[in-house]
């Protein structure tokens, strides 16, 4: 199996899986539906078209920089000013960075990599108001989703890494394989993006942590508060 790695970083991201009406929430990590939707946009697949080639791809994400949850609210009126629409609350992740991995056939993933480099439609991190801050694709690699998420170099911002320890433990959320114990289930497996019949199914996922070496850790201060109790 080959793996396409994606760096999902931007001033704001929003990955909703159950948002409805006036409350639009966000998950703490990118959803499978959101990332496959990004790939479909790069490929030029319209919402009303089938996403057959994307079905069956394995997915996982590593939380490299959690960011902070930010709440926004919006008001709207009709053009003539006579009708006022309900106040809506929208939640975002600010200054977050994620490493996403998509596993599948090598030829398909290389085509998706090329599409991300020259996307047909604009790319967004969950919502149209959230464009990526940098190039999304990190290329196609040999291996599997779990292995690449476990050993790929940390993608957090430099300022964030300088504040962290020499070794960090990053959370991984990925598709559970047949026979593996399931941590939980998520209803974000896309079946159709068609607005008239949008459908998602449940997928079993596994949560685990991986230890990554941080070469930018600040080692200039070696503070041991217990040393004050010594003789």
- Domains of the chain with bracketed CATH: 2-229 (3.30.70.2660)
Residue 56 φ then ψ, to 5°: 90, -5
> If you write DSSP's letter for every residue of the chain in order, what string do you get?
-EEEEEEEEEEEE---SS-BTTEE---SS--HHHHHHHHHHHHT--TTS--GGGTT-EEEEEEEE--EEEEEEE--B-TTS--BPPPEEEEEEEEEEEEEEEEE-HHHHHHHHHHHHS-SS---SSSTT---SS--EEEEEES-HHHHHHHSPP-S-HHHHHTS-SEEEEEEEEEPPTTSPPSEEEEEEEEE--TTS-EEEEEEEEEEEEEEE-TT---S----GGGGG--
**pLDDT tens-digit readout, 3-45:** 999 999 999 999 987 766 678 889 999 999 999 999 999 999 9
**pLDDT tens-digit readout, 182-205:** 999 999 999 999 988 889 999 999
pTM: 0.88
Residue ranges of the chain whose pLDDT lies below 70 = 19-21, 219-228, 230-231
Which candidate, 157, 145, 137, places its Cα nearest to that of 206? 145
Which candidate, 180, 17, 189, 170, places its Cα nearest to that of 99? 170
pLDDT for 149 equals: 98
Pairing of the two strands 137-142 and 68-74: unpaired
């Amino acid at each position: 199996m080959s793996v396409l790695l994606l760096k999902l970083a931007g001033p704001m991201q929003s990955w909703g899986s159950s948002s409805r009406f006036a409350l639009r929430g966000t998950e703490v990590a990118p959803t499978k539906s959101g990332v496959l939707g990004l790939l479909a946009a790069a490929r030029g697949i319209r919402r009303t078209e089938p996403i057959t080639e994307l079905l069956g791809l394995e997915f996982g994400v590593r939380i490299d920089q959690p960011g902070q949850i930010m709440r926004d609210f919006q008001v709207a009126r009709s053009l003539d000013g006579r009708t006022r629409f309900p106040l809506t609350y929208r939640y975002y992740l600010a200054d977050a960075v994620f490493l996403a991995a998509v596993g599948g056939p090598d030829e398909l993933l290389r085509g998706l990599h090329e599409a991300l480099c020259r996307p047909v439609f604009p790319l967004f991190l969950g919502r149209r108001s959230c464009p990526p801050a940098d190039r999304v694709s990190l290329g196609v690699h040999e291996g599997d989703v779990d292995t690449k998420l476990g050993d790929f170099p940390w993608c957090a911002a430099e300022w964030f890494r300088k504040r962290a320890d020499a070794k960090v433990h990053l959370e991984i959320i990925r598709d559970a394989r047949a026979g593996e114990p399931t941590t939980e289930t998520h209803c974000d497996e896309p079946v159709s993006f068609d607005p008239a019949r949008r459908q998602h199914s449940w997928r079993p996922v596994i949560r685990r942590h991986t230890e990554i070496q941080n070469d930018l850790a600040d080692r200039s201060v070696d503070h041991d508060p217990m040393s004050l109790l010594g003789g």
